[in-house]
Amino acid sequence: MAHRVTDYVKEGLTALGPKAAAAMGQGGSGGGIPDMDKLPAPIRTVMESAYGHGVGDVFLYSAPFALLAFIVTLFIKEVALKSNAAKADAE
């Protein structure tokens, strides 16, 4: 997800122009989540959008696996956990 967020941030800053890139600062490769309250409004919008799209990508990629897991569980044969408990109760 981090790579996708980085790509979305780069795209957004490129769309805003060179002034936005300069306002972001040179230390943008720290790897941490920025404090959104301290960012200027256009850059904050880009960052929020980038993280939103990144989370959306995670769900988009995981949804087929969740569907596959659900389908597999439909075909699992039920097996009794304890078969001799019924015999002990009958005696």
Is 42 part of any domain? yes
Is 45 part of any domain? yes
Number of domains in the chain: 1
Is 80 part of any domain? no
Q: What is the pTM of this model?
A: 0.59
Is 59 part of any domain? yes
Q: Cα–Cα distance between 43 and 30 in angstroms, integer? A: 16
- As a three-state string, the secondary structure of 8-72 is HHHHHHHHHCHHHHHHHCCCCCCCCCCCHHHCCHHHHHHHHHHHHHHHHHHHHHHHHHHHHHHHH
Residue 37, domain extent? 2-74
pLDDT at residue 78, as a whole number: 87
Reading the chain (91 residues) residue by residue, the pLDDT tens digits are 777 888 888 888 888 887 766 666 644 455 666 778 888 888 888 888 888 999 999 999 999 999 999 999 999 988 888 777 656 566 5
pLDDT at residue 65, as a whole number: 96
Is 14 part of any domain? yes
